[in-house]
Amino acid sequence: MIKPKKLASRNFLSSLDMTKEEAIQILDIARSFKNKDLNINLKNKVLGLIFDKSSTRTRVSFQVAMSRLGGTTIDLNPTTSQINRGEPIKDTARVLSRYCDAIAVRTFNQSNLEEYAKWSTKPVINALTDLEHPCQAIADFLTIKEEFGELKDVVITFIGDGNNVANSLILNGALLGVEIRIACPKGYEPDSSIIKKSVDITNNTEMLKITNDPISAVSGANVLYTDVWSSMGEENQKEEKDKDFKDFCINDYLLKKAAVNAIVLHCLPAYREKEITDQVIESKNSRIFDQAENRMHAQQALLACLLQ
């Protein structure tokens, strides 16, 4: 039975708050939880959840993961707490960390999350920011590893906006040594700081390819992955982005250009017939609902490594 080793970093604000060894360990632990091979007791531990944006998967998978580990969660709705009244993060974080054993935060700017981490005396977890979605990336690689066993020869093509989901996929992929291709319209490339960090880790410019051509990007890929074109907080850009991304839909035509037996992922929620067709979501290639389930096993593994 695996014995989870505590993460060296107190917080999990970014995929890079893990080392390569820790990224591998978390996947093994998540797998063990899924196989019911691991029993960790977080009795009396409390995870606070602060969600400045909507959530189904992240919120519920944290709640269920914590409950499976014997702990509990408190959902701190910003509207009914004093958060939306404008209480400073540094006050909220100091108070909550006297009650809770960890706090998961979904918010807009990464700097808000960093402010929570600065003032909290307990671990702070990134439950999605505009920059990163590192919990999602753990579940993504868990799903990919389940399918292919080894990760080293897998090619992942992400088609869509180079933002939070793509950024964490890139960084976690760099830690695990997986080739990532990003296909996005001009102007929607991932943040240059993310690209630089990825190259610094892999020391190999061939491991991350960024292109504006979805067709060449899917050629021979084992995993096709997408996310919404307009993220939460970008509702006013929807019309413009719908136009810019119109050639970046995962449909049957693109899927046929990928490797035989390629799988399709989407972090969800999806807009069918925008970034992905209904047919592809429901196809035999889709692992989208396994991926969603894996959020819970991934979260259990992360909590075990932060709170044990």
CB of 128 to ligand CP, least distance (A): 6
Three-point CA angle 140, 136, 57, nearest 5°: 110
Closer Cβ to ligand CP, 97 or 231, answer by number: 231
164 binds ligand CP (CB under 6 A): no
299 binds, among ligand CP, ligand NVA, none (CB under 5 to 8 A by kind): none
Q: Which of 60, 151, 210, 232 binds ligand NVA (CB under 6 A)?
A: 232
Q: Are 93 and 116 contacting, i.e. CB atoms less than 8 angstroms apart?
A: yes
Could you give the string, one character per residue 255-274, with x where binding to ligand NVA holds by CB under 6 A and - elsewhere?
Answer: ------------x-------
Q: How far apart, in whole angstroms, are the C-alpha atoms of residue 105 and residue 116? A: 8
Length of the chain: 308
- Establish whether 136 is a catalytic residue: yes
Residue 235's φ and ψ, nearest 5 degrees, are: -55, -35
Q: Of 57, 133, 266, 297, which is the active-site residue?
A: 133
143 binds, among ligand NVA, ligand CP, none (CB under 5 to 8 A by kind): none
Q: Which of 25, 32, 58, 107 binds ligand CP (CB under 6 A)?
A: 58
Cα–Cα nearest to 206, from 177, 171, 242, 240: 177
Bridge partners (DSSP) listed for residue 129: none
Bridge partners (DSSP) listed for residue 51: 106
Q: Which of 127, 224, 228, 301 binds ligand NVA (CB under 6 A)?
A: 228
Q: How far apart, in whole angstroms, are the C-alpha atoms of residue 13 and residue 77? A: 20
CA dihedral 211, 212, 213, 214 (to 10 degrees): 90
- Establish whether 295 is a catalytic residue: yes
Q: How far apart, in whole angstroms, are the C-alpha atoms of residue 224 and residue 25? A: 25
Could you give the string, one character per residue 238-277, with x where binding to ligand CP holds by CB under 6 A and - elsewhere?
Answer: -----------------------------xxx--------
Chain residues in the site for ligand CP (CB under 6 A): 55-58, 128, 136, 267-269
Chain residues in the site for ligand NVA (CB under 6 A): 128, 163-165, 227-228, 231-232, 267
